[in-house]
Amino acid sequence: MEIITGRSPVDYARPQGEVNLVEWLKTMVGIRKSEHVADPKLPEMPSSKALKRILLVALRCVDPDAQKRPKMGHVIHMLEADDLLFHDERHTWR
């Protein structure tokens, strides 16, 4: 979450609803504003589909119920999916 957003887990300089990174991301994903959470300083932006998948995987990893959190191997598998290509990578293979 920190890498994709460029934010700290807790930042008291942020507005009230954005202090806690996990809670803010849950809200943004819940209201379908995922595209507004990516750090503009990223060297390349993931596709909209990839960004949503990354965020959903990240949120599963911080589930309050430890039994529902995926194992690291499963996280890697979810993030290595073929449809996680960046926009530029899709166009270079044509």
Total residues belonging to the chain: 94
Q: How far apart are CA 31 and CA 18, in angstroms?
A: 14
Check pLDDT > 90 for residue 58. Answer: yes
pLDDT band for position 89 (cuts 50, 70, 90): very low
> In this predicted structure, what is the pLDDT of residue 88?
45
3-state SS, residue 46: strand
pTM of the predicted protein model: 0.74
Give the mean pLDDT of 64-92: 73
Q: How far apart are CA 56 and CA 67, in angstroms?
A: 17
Q: How far apart are CA 8 and CA 22, in angstroms?
A: 10
Q: Domains for the chain: give ranges and CATH numbers.
A: 2-92 (1.10.510.10)
> In this predicted structure, what is the pLDDT of residue 77?
87
Give the mean pLDDT of 32-42: 91
Tracing tokens 């499963």 back to the chain, one arrives at 74
Check pLDDT > 50 for residue 87. Answer: no
